[in-house]
């Protein structure tokens, strides 16, 4: 039973991070907090991709230094989720920079980061 819980632990953390991220996006009024919520969601998605590619006792997909028992493809870790995660991290950094730049411009223009006040001003 405890081994089964350990295998599902990353997915429980993913669900918790998704809940925190959606809560932050939905119920916080400050734009910086909304950006942080989006970053938490991004982290949850990256953790999910890494957890999907995990193989217990698996070997890295590098054939030059792999031990003989790694010759079986069942023992290799899938490289695709790792590549998707790296791509997601790079795209996430760019999107985060863009969102923070928008937040700075909104603050300069409206003098506030409160979403409800920004909607009321419409200027």
pLDDT at 93 (0 to 100): 96
Domains and CATH numbers, the chain: 1-110 (1.10.287)
Query: Using CA atoms in the order 67, 71, 74, 76, what is the torsion angle rounded to 10 degrees?
Result: 50
pLDDT at 66 (0 to 100): 65
Give the largest Cα separation in the chain, rounded: 67
Which CA distances in Å does 60 have to 11, 80, 81, 85?
A: 22, 12, 12, 15
**pTM of the entire predicted model:** 0.81
**Confidence class of residue 120 from pLDDT cuts 50, 70 and 90?**
confident
The set of residues, in sequence order, having a beta carbon less than 8 Å from that of 121 and lying 6+ positions away, is 110
């Amino acid at each position: 039973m405890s081994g089964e819980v350990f295998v599902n632990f990353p997915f429980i953390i993913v669900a918790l991070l998704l809940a925190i991220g959606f809560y932050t996006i939905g119920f916080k009024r400050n734009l910086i907090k909304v950006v942080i919520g989006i970053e938490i969601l991004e982290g949850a998605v990256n953790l999910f991709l890494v957890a999907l590619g995990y193989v217990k006792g698996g070997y890295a997909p590098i054939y030059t230094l792999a031990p003989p028992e790694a010759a079986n493809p069942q023992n290799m870790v899938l490289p695709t989720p790792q590549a998707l995660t790296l791509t997601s991290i790079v795209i996430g950094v760019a999107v985060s920079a863009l969102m923070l730049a928008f937040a700075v411009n909104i603050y300069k223009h409206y003098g506030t980061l409160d979403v409800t006040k920004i909607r009321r001003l419409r200027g």
